[in-house]
């Protein structure tokens, strides 16, 4: 039986070693993430006490189904992305190992203050990774907003501590059930703001444009999949399982999520750079997931997180690679880029279709589940917002795909001579990686029962009252 603390300790140990063994940083990183993947399959679910103090006095790690499925996906994506962009790791090995420890810690911890510590560790590595683009003013902006956000999270946390006298998630959740929720408005809102900075919710996401918009083929997919996924999983954990949100605040926060969704999609529509389109789409998706979590729909929210992070890992890898090679990611200048890289183009297309939610792809399964879930709550305005967002999403993704597949002016037959003058050479490792990830999206779309069997437990465990729908249409047919 493995102790899940190894998932945090091994990357940290290797991070220290990688400072001594300077020349093997990237190998150590791959070793660390591969060992983690193997360890995950030897884990047993349960509660693990750290340091011999029983909770609520000591810190514990909680490995329930929700934590298990999230560490599995985050570690898997982390490994695949590092394999794909192995050439970019170079000196970043140490930072990436620390970030892996932080991400696992955030997903596993059962203590709110411990979550703050891991949140800060992860954020600091994220600031360093964001500075790879050499646009230091954006990294600085991210640092200021991130630090302020986690400061506000800590503020909310301390107010909760002074009320309940505990930092343990399970203990607070138990005490919160009998508390007067109107007195909890301030700490709840402060914690929401703190997590919203990293989760990219609307008024707090000023940093995203500079950081995601300049990320390369290693950092971009990491931010958009491993980091974004972790933040949303943590958001779900805190707001569904730990904190009880009073109904007025809940409506307000759901509206913030819905506004983020619409604003993100609308901003993506007006952009022409590939990575900008993707980053605004990521913002929109975060808003959607937050609205779902706050509505109590854990299972559809988890499905949608998977849809988002798998698709974005593929798309940011290809978009980042194009920008690395050509120095630009303007869709107009890269017309017809996929004609020369058909497999990569196909994976990008699959990822985009899945994100829109077309049948035959995994996205359809997650979208139909979340819509049915919301209808079952007798909420009729949120589906309208989501469907509107989906239409906008369809418009800009299909416009982008048309540009990248068929060069030339409208009304003319597109031939290769209109295609971009840049040569984009996507390496074999990246092609295999993106094909692998997009194959998962197709297989999960054709056989959704497979995903469901692994996921229903995670949805139910987090919130037993949440309706988790088991709506399978094989391949959407």
Partner 1 sequence: MIQYAGIILMLIGIYGLLTDKNVIKIIVSLNVFELGLNVFIISVGFVKDGVAPILTSVNNHSGLIFVDPLPQALVLTAIVIGLGTTALGLAFARRIYMKYGTLDLEEIGGNN
- Cis previous bond, 46, omega within 30: no
Nearer to partner 1, 40 or 152 (CB): 152
Nearer to partner 1, 11 or 146 (CB): 146
Number of H helices, E strands in the chain: 21, 2
Rounded least distance, CB 190 to partner 1, Å: 11
Sole residue written with tokens 């090679």:
325
Rounded least distance, CB 167 to partner 1, Å: 8
Site residues (vs partner 1, CB under 8 A) = 113, 117, 120, 124, 127-128, 131, 134-137, 139-140, 143-144, 147-148, 151, 154-155, 158, 161-162, 167
Nearer to partner 1, 27 or 272 (CB): 272
Rounded least distance, CB 12 to partner 1, Å: 15
Nearer to partner 1, 146 or 287 (CB): 146
As a whole number of angstroms, the distance between CA 120 and CA 194 comes to: 11
Read off the tokens for 262: 């619409």
As a whole number of angstroms, the distance between CA 181 and CA 318 comes to: 46
As a whole number of angstroms, the distance between CA 341 and CA 337 comes to: 7
Rounded least distance, CB 54 to partner 1, Å: 15
Rounded least distance, CB 132 to partner 1, Å: 12
As a whole number of angstroms, the distance between CA 353 and CA 409 comes to: 24
Rounded least distance, CB 13 to partner 1, Å: 20
Nearer to partner 1, 154 or 218 (CB): 154
Rounded least distance, CB 199 to partner 1, Å: 19
As a whole number of angstroms, the distance between CA 425 and CA 265 comes to: 30
Residue of 345, 365, 347 whose CA lies nearest to 356: 365
Per-residue burial over 290-311, b if 16 or more Cβ lie within 10 Å, else e, is bbbbbbbbbbbbbbbbbbbbbb
As a whole number of angstroms, the distance between CA 104 and CA 348 comes to: 28
Return all residues near 69 (Cβ < 8 A) that are at least 6 apart.
302, 454, 455, 458
Nearer to partner 1, 198 or 265 (CB): 198
DSSP one-letter string for 165-226: S--BHHHHHHHHTTS-GGGGHHHHHHHHHHHHHHHT-GGG-TTHHHHHHT--TTHHHIIIII
Nearer to partner 1, 130 or 366 (CB): 130
Residue 90 neighbours by CB distance under 10 Å: 11
Rounded least distance, CB 210 to partner 1, Å: 9
Q: Give the HSE-up count for residue 257: Cα atoms under 13 Å, Cβ half-sphere.
A: 27
Return all residues near 364 (Cβ < 8 A) that are at least 6 apart.
354, 357, 358, 445, 473, 476
Per-residue burial over 236-261, b if 16 or more Cβ lie within 10 Å, else e, is bbbbbbbbbbeeebbebbbebbbbbb
Rounded least distance, CB 248 to partner 1, Å: 24
Give, for 320, the enclosing helix (H) or strand (E): helix 298-326
Q: What's the start-to-end Cα distance of the chain, in Å? A: 42
As a whole number of angstroms, the distance between CA 279 and CA 212 comes to: 6
Rounded least distance, CB 313 to partner 1, Å: 26
DSSP one-letter string for 100-130: HHHHHHHHHB-BHHHHHHHHHHHHHHHHHHH
Rounded least distance, CB 140 to partner 1, Å: 4
């Amino acid at each position: 039986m493995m102790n899940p603390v190894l998932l945090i300790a091994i990357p940290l140990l290797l991070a220290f070693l990688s400072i001594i063994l300077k020349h093997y940083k990237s190998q150590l990183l791959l070793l660390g993430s591969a060992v983690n993947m193997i360890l995950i399959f030897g884990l047993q679910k349960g509660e693990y006490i750290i340091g011999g103090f029983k909770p609520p006095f000591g810190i514990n790690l909680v490995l329930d189904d929700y934590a298990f499925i999230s560490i599995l996906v985050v570690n898997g994506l982390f490994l695949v992305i590092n394999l794909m962009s192995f050439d970019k790791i170079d000196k970043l090995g140490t930072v990436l190992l620390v970030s892996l420890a932080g991400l696992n810690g955030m997903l596993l911890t059962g203590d709110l203050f411990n979550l703050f510590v891991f949140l800060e560790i992860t954020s600091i590595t994220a600031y360093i990774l964001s500075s790879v683009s050499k646009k230091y003013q954006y990294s600085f902006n991210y640092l200021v907003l991130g630090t302020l956000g986690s400061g506000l999270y800590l503020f909310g946390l301390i107010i909760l501590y002074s009320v309940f006298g505990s930092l343990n998630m399970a203990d607070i959740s138990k005490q919160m059930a009998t508390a007067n929720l109107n007195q909890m408005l301030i700490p709840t809102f402060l914690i929401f703001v703190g997590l919203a900075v990293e989760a990219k919710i609307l008024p707090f996401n000023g940093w995203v444009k500079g950081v995601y918009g300049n990320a390369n083929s290693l950092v971009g997919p990491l931010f958009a999949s491993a980091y974004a996924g972790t933040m949303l999983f943590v958001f779900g954990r805190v707001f569904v399982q730990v904190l009880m949100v009073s109904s007025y605040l809940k409506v307000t926060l759901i509206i913030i999520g819905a506004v983020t969704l619409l604003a993100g999609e609308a901003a993506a529509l007006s952009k022409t750079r590939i990575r900008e389109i993707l980053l605004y789409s990521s913002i929109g998706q975060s808003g959607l997931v937050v609205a779902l979590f706050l509505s109590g729909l854990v299972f559809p929210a988890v499905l949608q997180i998977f849809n988002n992070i798998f698709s974005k890992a593929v798309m940011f890898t290809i978009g980042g690679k194009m920008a690395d090679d050509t120095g630009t990611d303007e869709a107009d200048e890269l017309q017809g880029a996929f004609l020369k890289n058909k497999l990569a183009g196909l994976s990008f297309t699959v990822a985009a279709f899945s994100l829109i939610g077309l049948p035959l792809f995994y996205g359809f399964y997650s979208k139909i589940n979340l819509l049915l879930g919301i209808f079952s709550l007798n909420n009729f305005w949120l589906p309208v917002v989501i469907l509107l967002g989906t239409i906008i999403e369809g418009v800009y993704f299909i416009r982008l795909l048309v540009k990248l597949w068929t060069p030339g002016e409208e009304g003319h037959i597109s031939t290769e001579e209109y295609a971009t003058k840049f040569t984009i050479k996507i390496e074999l490792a990246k092609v295999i990686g993106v094909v692998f990830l997009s194959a998962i999206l197709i297989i999960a779309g054709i056989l959704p029962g497979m995903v469901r069997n692994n996921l229903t437990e995670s949805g139910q465990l987090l919130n037993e009252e949440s309706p988790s729908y088991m709506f399978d249409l094989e391949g959407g047919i």
